[in-house]
Chain A
Amino acid sequence: MHSSSLRFFLSLNLSLLLFCGASFFSSAMAGLTALEALTEQLYDFIQSMEDDGIVDYHFKDCYNMKEANGPFLFIELIPTYISDSETTLEEMTAELDQPLVKFKHLEQLCTRLKGGTACIGACRVATSCGELRRAAIAKNKDNCLLRLEMIKGDFSILRNRLEAFLELERRIVTNDYQGC
């Protein structure tokens, strides 16, 4: 090949290489920036839940366990918590529908729900569980029914926020940064 053609060929390839490298670097940087933006959005979301009194610092503390336990920790944990809690709430409703309420059983259900709820930092629902338990200890059916409705309301709010949180978390974990 003629030397000038060779030089032209080589310089063209070098330019292409530099262009591809720059493009790759640019999109990698854009991806990193998008990840940072999404992560910031997620932490802002956690803060908003704290500010609204839905969760306390235990929620963020649990979330930060991801570092040592893998990125899918919360994606697996939260749906389990929601599902198990819904089951317990159904059992509570069924118990209070009985003509003769077994208050001891209701107490146990309160303790069960409060345990998992407190451990993920969902303080508002945990507090409501404590109030229902006190009503069950007092064997006051009317108060139990009232407290159960309050728990359901608080749990509904919590579930909605957790589902929105999970949506952000899924995007982070699956590297889906589009739309940031």
Chain B
Amino acid sequence: MATSNGSSTGTKITALVVDDDRVINAIHCKRLNKLGIENHVAANGKEAVDLHCSGKKFDLILMDRDMPIMNGIEATRELRAMGVRSIIVGVSTRSIKQEIQEFMDSGLDDYQEKPLTSSKVISILHKINCNEFLD
């Protein structure tokens, strides 16, 4: 379901949607597309890590928590250990504080409870723009 080569060069924001659910992937991609964001999909954490190992970079990663093979917590830790500095936002239906904190502690910049809305994405994008300004 690739829709871009995942490059973070140029002015267009690039995003990686990491989720094993195809309905969620479709909705998140369409939402990002509507906001003019170039997006790519990974079906689990391992695919996300492999994409980065192959040299792909993204401005934004939307990371699901519960996935087969490699979950969001493991994938986030791995990506941070690799030196990935993208904005990584955890997206899950879990609402228990301890579970959210466990996910945040893996290296997330933010956590959003599903469903992801356009206003939530816009607030995340502001964060990206601020980071680019600071860099």
Q: Which residues of A come within 8 Å of B, CB atoms?
A: 58, 61-62, 65, 67-69, 73, 76-77, 80-81, 84, 108, 111-112, 114-116, 118-121, 126, 130
Contacts and interface: CB of A to CB of B under 8 A. Distances in A.
18 contacts: A61-B117, A65-B34, A67-B34, A68-B33, A69-B33, A69-B34, A76-B26, A77-B27, A84-B23, A108-B66, A111-B93, A112-B21, A115-B21, A115-B93, A118-B93, A119-B23, A119-B114, A126-B93
Interface residues of B, number: 23
Contacts of A118: 93, 114-115
B21 A58 contact: no
Those 8 A-B pairs whose CB atoms lie nearest each other, nearest first = A68-B34, A116-B23, A119-B115, A69-B30, A114-B93, A81-B23, A65-B30, A118-B115
A121 B34 contact: no
B66 A111 contact: yes
Nearest to A108: B66
Contacts of B94: 111
B34 A58 contact: no
Contacts of B128: none
A115 B24 contact: yes
B52 interface: no
Contacts of B4: none
The A contact surface, by secondary structure, is helix
A120 B23 contact: yes
Nearest to B91: A115
Nearest to A114: B93
Contacts of B22: 80, 84
Contacts of B116: 119
Interface string B51-95: 000000000000010100000000000000000000000001110
Contacts of A76: 26
Given A69-B34, A73-B30, A111-B66, A80 B117 contact: no
A84 B112 CA distance: 23
Interface in B79-135: 92-94, 114-118
